[in-house]
Chains A and B, each alone.
Chain A
Amino acid sequence: MDGKVSAIVGNNGSPGKKVQAKSHDKALFYALLLPAFLLVTLFIIWPVVNTVFYSFYDWNGFGPLKNFVGLKNLRTLFRDPLFWNALRNNGIVILFSVCVQLPIAFLLALLVSKSSSRPTIFFRTVFFLPYILSEIITGVIWRFIYHPQFGLLQQIFAKFAPDYSYTGFLADPKTVFVSILFVIFWKYFGFHMILYVAGLQGIPPEYHEAALIDGANPVQAFIYVTLPFMKNAIQMSLFFCIIGSLQVFDVIWSMGQGGPVHAAETAVVYLYKFGIKSSKMGFGSMVAIVIFVICLLFNVLYQRVINREEK
């Protein structure tokens, strides 16, 4: 796009100057990117490369790297039912987020995107608020609410359903995961909602009105006008939702460390428990690489799909 412009505008006409400008531009391009490139390479990519190395060792992490075992960590990992349990839980988080969290975020976005009135801004601000809170605080607040002896839920049950003995949702392996899913929803739906609001505000109103004039009912207007314009927002939201679901850790860890009995354990929680806390850095590194590969595969798939659509 820029090349075309400079061809039209001409850079004072002389071709020599254009070439000079172009190479000057190129140097500038790399100079502008250098700091970001350095930071990302030094602090993200380089650790990832190291992690790949560690994964081939049965190393407790102390002292020098030793005990090369090839792919043994991978075999142990795939044979561990708890790993598949963790992956399954990740799947549940993805399913829940995509099927429940995102639609609700979309619905709320529809409700708060239309005007800039004070109430609307108020709601928008409130909905994004949990995203701002730290995971630790979120964990503390919700552990407090779920507490079996003096939490909010215990009080509510005592008042409205005194026959039901509330033993704490976080203490029962059957209910702990759902309880944490709710907190995940609470914390992150505002982020997706804001993405959708941004998308909705980018739709020119004429299209919508035109459709209605042509006789479409609101539902059809939604499907044929609103949704296509929302494609980008939805794609972005899905991307962050799925990557986030694959990497979810902090909220789960601060609400019981994935327990009791691994009921709420996800891949990164599994990694932290059986890799880092158990002093098995080699094994932990292998788990990290597997998670990274899964995210990578998803990313490749995602890029393919949106590139195909763009054609």
Chain B
Amino acid sequence: MNMRKGIVGIVAILMVVSLMVSCSGKTKSENSKVTVNFWHLDSNDLHYPEWEKIAAKFMETHPNVDIKITVLENEAYKSKLATVMQSGNPPDIFRSWGGGVMNSYAESGLLKDITNEYKNKWDSKIGEGAVGVYSYKGKIYGLPYTMGGVGIWYNKELLAKVGYNTPPETWNDFLDCVKKLKAAGITPIALGEGDKWPGHFWWVYLAVRLGGKEAFDKATIGNGSFNDEPFVKAGELLQELIALKPFQEGFLAATYGGDQAALMGNGKAAMELMGQWAPAVEIGSSADKKGIGDKLGFMSFPAVEGGKGKLTDLMGGGDGLVIGKNAPKEAVEFLKYITSVENEKFLTTGPLGIVPTAIGAETALTDPNLVAINKAVSQAAYFQLYYDQYLPPATGEVVKDATQGLFAGTMGPKEVAAAVAASYQAEKK
């Protein structure tokens, strides 16, 4: 009896051990190929094949390289990346939005400095403002392959219905347009505030228009703070808009993809404040998978009367790839390959529909809205990365929470500014 149990036990242990060995054996390759771990978050059925194609093309010309792709959807990606980074073991090349989050990786020595390679051995050239998003303390840690901006996407037909054949260009006009839309029974603005980040766009843009680069620099690296006037006034102006009740029912719990983009794509709302991916997501979320086609227009965020910011100031961001500290040089080669004019054109014309960064690739853009954005990016003297990516992660969370408080009516403009100021004070190093 004891013997039988003992044998069963030994067999079980053997099974477990062999499973362990076989599973770990899979990840260590016996041949001399160099493995490059590539992580991204374009999990959509239409999108991830694009990356596989690029990887395949690269591996054809670099037969000693094996690119292993890990792809997860947005939230899962952020969770897993956070855990992996926290364990000190970054992937070789992976998606990042730059800014404060990337800076904290760089600060902890988790990224590879590619300044030298980019400055001397790169095939393409990328706009300085865009590269700046992926630099920290003068060193470059990655590159964006798409950079765009946030602006107002509007349904031309719905706006024309209330007399706006051209979109409103000033904040006061904008409020007037909203009032007219509401009176006509049209949902003026689609907003997925359940996700919180779409809402914070409004606050940031108002601050950008009111205070410009000057105010932001003063608050972050100067002797000011987020309690300064432009940031408080941003909240006040936003409150004016909120008071008009321009959003769809239940917006406080609505999501971006499922609700905001769907409303726009189905022609049920007139405007949304969103980035360059808006057309693609609207199409994907619409019921007929076609979106509103050429009824969709794009305009810069309205000018605020008396604001010190310039109309060319742009808030937005892009997508880029950074290099992990342990990455082989082949990973940097792969990044060079992706950011070449040819491959950026490939990504532009494919289902990902990016707004490319490599100078020369923009000729592949066909959508007039995206052409406009590309132009805006190159003209922007002040390019502000979205706060929730630019600021340290904890402060980014506070900005999102506090602005949601504005939308919910539980926080006032001064409180919002104070919360952000306090958090930034505590986090900046």
Q: For the complex, is A167 an interface residue (Cβ under 8 Å from B)?
A: yes
Q: For the complex, is A170 an interface residue (Cβ under 8 Å from B)?
A: yes
Q: For the complex, is A171 an interface residue (Cβ under 8 Å from B)?
A: yes
Residue interface bits A166-181, CB-to-B below 8 A is 1, else 0 = 1110111100100000
List B contacts of A259 (CB < 8 A).
194, 196, 252-253, 404
**Distance to closest chain A CB from B145 (angstroms):** 24
Q: Which of A252-287 contact B (CB under 8 A)?
A: 256, 259-262, 273-274, 276-281
Mark the stretch among A60-68, A95-103, A194-202 that contacts chain B.
Answer: A60-68
Q: Which of B58-115 contact A (CB under 8 A)?
A: 79, 82, 85-86, 88, 101, 104-105, 107-110
Residue interface bits B240-260, CB-to-A below 8 A is 1, else 0 = 000000001111111000010
B82 and A168 contact, CB distance less than 8 A: no
Contact for A173 among B194, B248, B408, CB less than 8 A: B408
A150–B141 Cα gap in the complex (Å)? 45
Q: For the complex, is A120 an interface residue (Cβ under 8 Å from B)?
A: no
B248 and A256 contact, CB distance less than 8 A: no
A62 and B252 contact, CB distance less than 8 A: no
**Distance to closest chain A CB from B300 (angstroms):** 29
**Distance to closest chain B CB from A268 (angstroms):** 15
Q: For the complex, is B175 an interface residue (Cβ under 8 Å from A)?
A: no
List A contacts of B196 (CB < 8 A).
259
A274–B396 Cα gap in the complex (Å)? 11
**Total contacts A-B at CB 8 Å:** 96
**Distance to closest chain B CB from A176 (angstroms):** 7
Indicate the size class of the contact surface on chain A. Answer: 20 to 34
Q: For the complex, is A307 an interface residue (Cβ under 8 Å from B)?
A: no
B410 and A147 contact, CB distance less than 8 A: no
List A contacts of B394 (CB < 8 A).
274, 278-280
B253 and A278 contact, CB distance less than 8 A: no
Residue of B nearest to A143 (CB): B253
Q: For the complex, is B157 an interface residue (Cβ under 8 Å from A)?
A: no
Q: For the complex, is A148 an interface residue (Cβ under 8 Å from B)?
A: yes
Q: For the complex, is A149 an interface residue (Cβ under 8 Å from B)?
A: yes
A261 and B88 contact, CB distance less than 8 A: no
A260–B401 Cα gap in the complex (Å)? 9
Q: Which of A23-52 contact B (CB under 8 A)?
A: none
Q: Which of B377-395 contact A (CB under 8 A)?
A: 392-394
Residue of A nearest to B405 (CB): A261
B108 and A262 contact, CB distance less than 8 A: no
Q: For the complex, is B193 an interface residue (Cβ under 8 Å from A)?
A: yes
A62 and B250 contact, CB distance less than 8 A: no
A260 and B249 contact, CB distance less than 8 A: no
A69–B250 Cα gap in the complex (Å)? 42
**Distance to closest chain A CB from B112 (angstroms):** 14
Q: For the complex, is A165 an interface residue (Cβ under 8 Å from B)?
A: yes
List B contacts of A273 (CB < 8 A).
397
How many residues of chain B have a CB within 8 Å of chain A? 35
A166–B108 Cα gap in the complex (Å)? 49
Per DSSP, chain B at the interface is helix
A260 and B194 contact, CB distance less than 8 A: yes
Q: Which of A120-165 contact B (CB under 8 A)?
A: 147-149, 165
B397 and A168 contact, CB distance less than 8 A: no
Of B248, B253, B254, most buried by chain A (CB within 10 Å of CB) is: B253
Residue interface bits A269-309, CB-to-B below 8 A is 1, else 0 = 00001101111110000000000000000000000000000
B250 and A279 contact, CB distance less than 8 A: no
The verdict on A281 contacting B86 (CB below 8 Å), with A62-B105, A62-B108, A261-B405 known, is: yes
Per DSSP, chain A at the interface is loop
Residue of B nearest to A283 (CB): B394
List A contacts of B407 (CB < 8 A).
260
A276–B248 Cα gap in the complex (Å)? 31
A279–B110 Cα gap in the complex (Å)? 15
A172–B253 Cα gap in the complex (Å)? 8
A60 and B108 contact, CB distance less than 8 A: yes
A60–B100 Cα gap in the complex (Å)? 12
List A contacts of B248 (CB < 8 A).
148-149
Residue of A nearest to B410 (CB): A261
Contact for B108 among A63, A149, A167, CB less than 8 A: A63
List A contacts of B85 (CB < 8 A).
61-62
Q: Which of A201-220 contact B (CB under 8 A)?
A: none
A171–B405 Cα gap in the complex (Å)? 13
Residue of A nearest to B194 (CB): A256
The verdict on A260 contacting B82 (CB below 8 Å), with A60-B104, A64-B88, A278-B394 known, is: no
List B contacts of A279 (CB < 8 A).
82, 101, 104, 392-394
Contact for B109 among A63, A280, A281, CB less than 8 A: A63
**Distance to closest chain B CB from A20 (angstroms):** 14
Residue interface bits B162-201, CB-to-A below 8 A is 1, else 0 = 0000000000000000000000000000000110100000
B253 and A170 contact, CB distance less than 8 A: yes
**Distance to closest chain B CB from A274 (angstroms):** 7
List A contacts of B404 (CB < 8 A).
259-261
List B contacts of A262 (CB < 8 A).
401
A171 and B194 contact, CB distance less than 8 A: yes
**Distance to closest chain B CB from A75 (angstroms):** 13
Q: Which of B118-152 contact A (CB under 8 A)?
A: none
**Distance to closest chain A CB from B199 (angstroms):** 10
B250 and A167 contact, CB distance less than 8 A: yes
List A contacts of B401 (CB < 8 A).
261-262
Report the 8 A-B pairs with minimum CB-CB distance, sorted nearest first. A168-B250, A148-B250, A61-B86, A63-B108, A171-B253, A171-B250, A278-B394, A62-B108
B-binding residues in A (CB < 8 A): 60-64, 147-149, 165-168, 170-173, 176, 256, 259-262, 273-274, 276-281
8 A–B contacts from the bound complex (CB under 8 Å): A60-B393, A64-B108, A171-B252, A261-B411, A278-B393, A278-B397, A279-B104, A279-B393
